[in-house]
Chains A and B, each alone.
Chain A
């Protein structure tokens, strides 16, 4: 087991290299650079070639591509992600500050996806072809087709503008107290609209897994023994049906990250998504690199954790060391 985890970690290192190199090359082939961003067109007449050159030197943009990539890697090895060009703040501090806002959002959405998706899936899995099954499975198809930005807008419009149940965006009441209750109150709607697709997908997979497990011989045996249906359904069937769903739940991270970009824009949430969007439109290379690295580490980490969790719960899966 330990050997397996170590090997998986080692395999991920070249992938991370490839990811950062790809993003770095993408930035390189871009026409124009951050210097254009610093100097607005109407300032151009007051700017001399010397000033531009000095700016380039200060941001390190005068050096060749591979040298810059090598330097970036070297500093990364020392835990230094550099300075943001635009915010004049350290990239790691920026990321930590925004991560604090994004993690509750993605975590809450993920949790809703797991709890509601799985319980709904079990619920309809036990009632195949019932009215509940048709309506909820139909709804889940709708949920799978709704992207985060549409569910976000519609959620904001219906539950905040029309019904007034939730605040219209923001992370806490302006000027008010910063209590936990207030933060949670602001979190519910964005997280729920982000979770729509997760809930729908988890529900479909859970339903399918339940139907498959309920056809197994050991379920028939359990029933024939005269076990109470409750015991058969939840002890024998559900626990086994959960196994394939673990993979789905663990691999949903990239999609949550993508959805968070939209949800944060719609609910004016100062998280990783809005940080990245600003960095991309401002050509803030150190931030673009830093955020991509963090996302890649998160996704690869989630994949690894999923595999480990799977082997922990399924005794049939054993990793050769």
Chain B
């Protein structure tokens, strides 16, 4: 940006261009400049399409065991080899992505909804309710998240729905703090005062007037929530407290690596899942970074 402002003609040109662009177009143009974020977005779309259309990319059933084909190294039949029960690792990795991404998106949605509601109420109303919500947030943030997740998972039981609820139900404090801060600074702005003078009910001001202004920082936060949720699921499943076998997820595929024999001699049984998790999380974080820069011109880092 600094280099552009040196040239007056260029500035005029850019302003003229900006006038006919919608905010979404501006954000997209800025996002595209972030090369790494754009590449990450493309990779991410490919991964998501492969996970969603998993049956198109493999002819094997991820849960079909074949005693004849146990522990095969990667070959032309089984691209990523097979595990100790003769299940095709490529199929398990692709289908595993389905569950992992599903958990990531669903849990992030839950934590964002909780975070936005609590943050909005806390920031808009302030006083006692703010104090209560913020103290609860402090308590939840005191814990290493995995410790409560393990406790709840052991107690409530494992399984897809439970894992989504546990991760979503424990990830909201960060979103709450962010949204609260935004509402605190926005609630005294003139457009809010105007809306209030017009006698609009609180929930309309909270939802229709302030919320759209919070969307920009919230978007980046949502992407980071997705990657955090994917990692949380992988971590829980890795410890055997997440999504139980035989359903494949990247986390419980990596659980194979807890056996030293597999870790040493059969890297195809865990490495694809590790690489898939890393790639996905890295891409989501890059996209989040790009989004943050594209939506918030003041952000320097």
Chain A residues in the interface with B (C-beta under 8 A): 15, 18-19, 22-23, 26-27, 29-31, 141-142, 144-147, 149-150, 153-154, 156-157, 161, 168-169, 208, 254-255, 257-258, 261-262, 265-266, 276-277, 280-281, 283, 288, 292, 295-296, 299-300
The answer to whether A280 and B145 touch (CB under 8 A), given A15-B139, A262-B235, is no
Closest CB in chain A relative to B21 CB, distance in Å: 30
Contacts of B151 in A (CB 8 A): 23, 26-27, 280, 288, 292
Indicate if the CB atoms of A295 and B263 lie closer than 8 Å.
Answer: no
> Bound state CA distance, A147 and B145, in angstroms?
13
B278 contacts chain A at the CB level, 8 A cutoff? yes
> Bound state CA distance, A234 and B65, in angstroms?
62
Contact with A along B128-159 (1 / 0, CB 8 A): 00000001001101111111001111111100
The answer to whether A15 and B263 touch (CB under 8 A), given A26-B155, A153-B254, A261-B146, is no
Closest CB in chain A relative to B286 CB, distance in Å: 8
> Across the A-B interface, how many residue pairs have beta carbons closer than 8 Å?
110
Contacts of A26 in B (CB 8 A): 151-152, 155
The answer to whether A149 and B238 touch (CB under 8 A), given A26-B152, A26-B155, A30-B156, is yes
- Using CB atoms, name the residue of chain B closest to A138: B36
Indicate if the CB atoms of A145 and B143 lie closer than 8 Å.
Answer: no
Contacts of A299 in B (CB 8 A): 142-144
The answer to whether A18 and B147 touch (CB under 8 A), given A277-B239, A280-B241, is no
Indicate if the CB atoms of A257 and B147 lie closer than 8 Å.
Answer: yes
> Bound state CA distance, A31 and B231, in angstroms?
27
> Bound state CA distance, A208 and B144, in angstroms?
26
Indicate if the CB atoms of B241 and A150 lie closer than 8 Å.
Answer: no
Interface residues on B, range: 35 or more
Closest CB in chain A relative to B59 CB, distance in Å: 29
Not counting A150-B277, A281-B240, a sample of 12 additional A-B residue pairs whose C-beta atoms are within 8 angstroms of each other reads A149-B254, A153-B270, A157-B257, A161-B264, A168-B260, A257-B147, A261-B144, A261-B147, A261-B239, A262-B238, A292-B147, A296-B142
Indicate if the CB atoms of A145 and B227 lie closer than 8 Å.
Answer: yes
Contact of B144 among A23, A258, A280, A283 (CB under 8 A): A258
Contact of B147 among A144, A146, A154, A258 (CB under 8 A): A258
Indicate if the CB atoms of A142 and B282 lie closer than 8 Å.
Answer: yes
Chain B residues in the interface with A (C-beta under 8 A): 135, 138-139, 141-147, 150-157, 227, 231, 234-235, 238-241, 254, 257-258, 260, 263-264, 267, 270, 274, 277-278, 281-282, 285-286, 301
> Bound state CA distance, A283 and B138, in angstroms?
27
- Using CB atoms, name the residue of chain A closest to B279: A145
Indicate if the CB atoms of B145 and A258 lie closer than 8 Å.
Answer: yes
Indicate if the CB atoms of A150 and B144 lie closer than 8 Å.
Answer: no
Contacts of B157 in A (CB 8 A): 31
Contact of A147 among B152, B153, B234 (CB under 8 A): B234
Indicate if the CB atoms of A265 and B239 lie closer than 8 Å.
Answer: yes
Can you sample 10 A-B contacts with CB below 8 Å? A15-B138, A19-B143, A149-B234, A153-B254, A153-B274, A161-B264, A254-B141, A258-B145, A262-B235, A280-B150
Q: What are the 6 closest A-B residue pairs judged by CB atoms, nearest first?
A: A30-B155, A258-B144, A280-B154, A254-B144, A258-B146, A257-B144
Contacts of A265 in B (CB 8 A): 239, 258
Contacts of A292 in B (CB 8 A): 143, 147, 151
Closest CB in chain B relative to A176 CB, distance in Å: 19
> Bound state CA distance, A317 and B145, in angstroms?
31
Contact of A295 among B143, B152, B258, B270 (CB under 8 A): B143
Contacts of B270 in A (CB 8 A): 153
> Bound state CA distance, A255 and B142, in angstroms?
10
> Bound state CA distance, A31 and B152, in angstroms?
12
Closest CB in chain B relative to A312 CB, distance in Å: 23
The answer to whether A147 and B231 touch (CB under 8 A), given A19-B139, A142-B282, A261-B239, is yes
Closest CB in chain A relative to B152 CB, distance in Å: 6
> Bound state CA distance, A288 and B152, in angstroms?
12
> Bound state CA distance, A210 and B258, in angstroms?
41
> Bound state CA distance, A243 and B138, in angstroms?
23
- Using CB atoms, name the residue of chain A closest to B301: A208
- Using CB atoms, name the residue of chain B closest to A291: B147
> Bound state CA distance, A208 and B300, in angstroms?
10
Closest CB in chain A relative to B120 CB, distance in Å: 24
Contact of A153 among B135, B139, B263, B286 (CB under 8 A): B263
Closest CB in chain A relative to B137 CB, distance in Å: 12
The answer to whether A27 and B143 touch (CB under 8 A), given A153-B263, A157-B263, A168-B260, is no
> Bound state CA distance, A23 and B156, in angstroms?
13
- Using CB atoms, name the residue of chain A closest to B283: A145
Indicate if the CB atoms of A15 and B142 lie closer than 8 Å.
Answer: yes
Closest CB in chain B relative to A184 CB, distance in Å: 22
> Bound state CA distance, A152 and B258, in angstroms?
11
Indicate if the CB atoms of A145 and B285 lie closer than 8 Å.
Answer: yes
The answer to whether A144 and B285 touch (CB under 8 A), given A154-B274, A277-B150, is yes
> Bound state CA distance, A276 and B270, in angstroms?
25
Which of B154, B157, B270, B301 has the most C-beta atoms of chain A within 10 angstroms of its own C-beta? B154
